[in-house]
Amino acid sequence: MTGNVFNIQRFSIHNGPGIRTTVFFKGCPLSCVWCHNSEGLDFAPSAGQIFSMADIMQIIQRDSVFYEESGGGVTFSGGECMAQIDFLAELAQQCKNMGLHVTIDTSGHVPWQNFKRILNICDLFLYDIKITEPVLHKKMTGQGNNLIMENLEKLSKTNAKIWLRFPIIGEINTDLRHVKELSKVCRNIKHEQVNLLPYHAMAGKMQGMRPPTATELAEIKNQLMKATNAKIIVGG
């Protein structure tokens, strides 16, 4: 079995607890206009991006001592890793067989059946909520958010460990209405942590977007603190 992977990042500290190896799967059902991993949006593979299970496991095994010392493990991200569910499920199972901590970083825009296949393998879900207003979500990501929100609610009912991740983009989702909806998510969804992910203009500011100001981030964090007892971290 092979998978379409565009990057494998070792010694990662921003995609779950401890020191991790992050495997970035290629292809995503969303097309967020601010995406920093735009090379991972297309499902079509390019040269050097098809990996066997053995190829990836060999890389993961190199850093097992760092996982043990730091409480880290392996994170599967993207793109959308759960869009390649057959490869993901088998790869995650091999990691679990080694006793490794497995984290899934997801947009949630996949069939619920895909979640069911990895619930007993995954130790932690990093779940992104990008925009709560459905029309704006479709405009900015290419898809509506009904499936994303429905899957999050179902996932919460399974008692899965969830870190909520809220990308914050100036002029897009820093408004009070969005923050109020994020507060509702915090109240209704069982979660262990909240990450506010500020947009960074890596290649110059995109039209109509900017990084959030320190004041905006502080106000959003302050509002969310009223809705959750979980730790709120600015950044990954």
| 100 in any annotated domain | yes
| % of the chain residues with pLDDT over 70 | 97
Could you tell me if residue 61 is inside a domain?
Answer: yes
In a domain, 20, yes or no: yes
189, part of any domain: no
Determine, yes or no, domain membership for 213.
no
Name 36's Cβ contacts closer than 8 Å, sequence gap at least 6.
Answer: 200, 202
The CATH number covering residue 53 comes to 3.20.20.70
The answer, yes or no, to whether residue 236 has pLDDT greater than 80, is: no
Top-confidence residue, 40 or 5: 5
Residue 229 in this model has a pLDDT that exceeds 90: yes
Rounded to the nearest integer, the mean pLDDT of the chain is 94
Question: Hey, which residues does 196 pair with through a beta bridge?
Answer: 166, 234
pLDDT score recorded for residue 203: 45
CB atoms within 10 A of CB 198: 18
Are residues 67 and 123 in contact, defined by beta-carbon separation less than 8 angstroms? no
What is d(CA 198, CA 16) in angstroms, rounded to the nearest whole number?
Answer: 17
Q: Quick check: is 165 in a domain?
A: no
**What does the angle CA 114 – CA 27 – CA 165 come to, to the nearest 5 degrees?**
65
Number of domain units in the chain: 1
pLDDT at 200: 83
* Burial (0-12, 13-18, 19+ Cβ within 10 Å), 223: middle
Q: What is the pLDDT of residues 83-139, one digit of tens each?
A: 999 999 999 999 999 999 999 999 999 999 999 999 999 999 999 999 999 999 999
145-194 pLDDT, tens per residue? 999 999 999 999 999 999 999 999 999 999 999 999 999 999 999 999 99
Can you give the residue range of the structural domain that contains 67? 2-128
Residue 75 in any domain: the answer is yes
Peptide bond between residue 79 and the one before it cis (omega within 30 degrees of 0): yes
Global pTM reads 0.95
Is 51 within the bounds of a domain? Answer: yes
